[in-house]
């Protein structure tokens, strides 16, 4: 990412991590940012001692703090998540634009959860567990089962009416049992994604605590993203997972509204001020 000041472009902080910057503006003691929408990204503060490659980034060239964009969506690209991937994760990955890459992202991101559900429904139907074994042409269409359907289905408390309405939209004739199974599938896929997100947050938080040699750490996590904000249970499950996995940490979540836009603007303003100061 490059920001243009006057006529000369210069590299600044990655503007894609706006959630982090926006949250820091509201809560200056926070430690890292989380964005859950199309992609999973993380950044966190770390002493430069941990990153000898970047020592020169500090004014005196010895020690300091910097923001790290970990791009944790690529976690698992070396095969370390193979034991956790299901056949449905593999199917989604193989037909994606970047097969074999961003595997963790494809298990947690709102961009892919609907497609995971669609693959499960097709498999269940082929096995005669759903829709009398009949697969509609619409259900065969990639991307037809939108992730927003998961939120709508999980929010349904009106005798599964919303579930049946969505299935009719997909050209599927469903029974009450079909609707119950579909709702359970959506619940499990969303729950797994939230728990995986929580596990990732917990790992980073506890690593920060260990690096700082603290017995107990209080930290605030900036969060942005449609799935986190709109799904009725995602945020709660994610919070509970973090709480269970980090007994030596107190983690507070701070929702960062429009983190991408506000954060990018904040980063640009800071970069301009630093550049102007250097020209004086």
* pLDDT single digits (tens) 83-127: 999 999 999 999 999 999 999 999 999 999 999 999 999 999 999
Full set of structural domains in the chain with CATH: 76-218+229-241 (3.40.367.20)
The per-residue pLDDT for 44 is: 45
Q: What integer pLDDT is reported at residue 46 of this predicted model?
A: 39
- The CA distance from 169 to 138, in Å, is 9
Burial of 215 (0-12, 13-18, 19+ CB in 10 A): exposed
Contact present, 237 and 191 (Cβ < 8 Å): yes
Query: Which of 11-15, 26-30, 63-67, 165-169 is most confident?
Result: 165-169
Summary mean pLDDT of the chain: 79
Would you state the structure tokens that stand for residue 16, as one six-digit string?
Answer: 């894609």
For range 174-196, the mean pLDDT? 95
Q: What is the pLDDT of residue 63?
A: 56
Tens digits of per-residue pLDDT, 48-73?
A: 333 333 334 455 555 556 666 777 88
Length of the chain: 280
pLDDT at residue 27 tops 60 = no
- φ and ψ at residue 53, rounded to 5 degrees: -65, -30
pTM: predicted TM-score of the whole model, two decimal places: 0.77
Question: What are the tokens at 32?
Answer: 């890292």
Asked whether the predicted pLDDT for residue 140 surpasses 70, the reply is: yes
Q: Which residues contact 163 (CB under 8 A, 6 or more apart)?
A: 153, 156, 174, 179, 182, 183
For residue 45, is pLDDT > 70?
A: no
Would you report the helix, strand and coil content of the chain in percent, each value rounded to 5? Answer: 55, 15, 30
């Amino acid at each position: 990412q490059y920001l243009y000041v006057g006529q000369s472009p210069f590299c600044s902080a990655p503007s894609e991590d706006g959630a982090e910057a926006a949250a820091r503006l509201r809560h200056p003691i926070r430690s890292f940012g989380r964005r859950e929408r199309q992609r999973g990204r993380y950044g966190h503060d770390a002493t430069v001692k941990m990153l000898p490659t970047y020592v020169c980034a500090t004014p005196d060239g010895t020690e300091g703090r910097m923001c790290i964009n970990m791009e944790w969506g690529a976690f698992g690209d070396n095969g370390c998540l193979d034991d956790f991937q299901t056949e449905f994760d593999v199917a989604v990955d193989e037909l994606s634009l970047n097969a074999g890459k961003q595997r963790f992202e494809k298990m947690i991101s709102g961009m892919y959860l609907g497609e995971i559900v669609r693959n499960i429904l097709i498999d269940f139907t082929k096995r005669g567990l759903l829709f009398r074994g009949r697969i509609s042409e619409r259900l065969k269409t990639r991307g037809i089962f939108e992730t927003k359907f998961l939120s709508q289905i999980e929010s349904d408390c009106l005798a599964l009416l919303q579930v049946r309405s969505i299935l009719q939209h997909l050209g599927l004739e469903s029974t009450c049992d079909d609707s119950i199974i579909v709702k359970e599938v959506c619940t499990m896929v969303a729950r797994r994604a939230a728990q995986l997100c929580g596990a990732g947050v917990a790992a980073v938080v506890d690593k920060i605590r260990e690096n700082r040699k603290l017995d107990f750490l209080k930290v605030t996590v900036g969060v942005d993203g449609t799935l986190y904000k709109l799904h009725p249970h995602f945020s709660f499950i994610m919070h509970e997972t973090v709480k269970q996995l980090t007994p030596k940490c107190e983690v507070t979540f701070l929702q960062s509204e429009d983190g991408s836009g506000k954060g990018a603007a904040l980063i640009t303003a800071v970069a301009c001020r630093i550049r102007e100061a250097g020209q004086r």
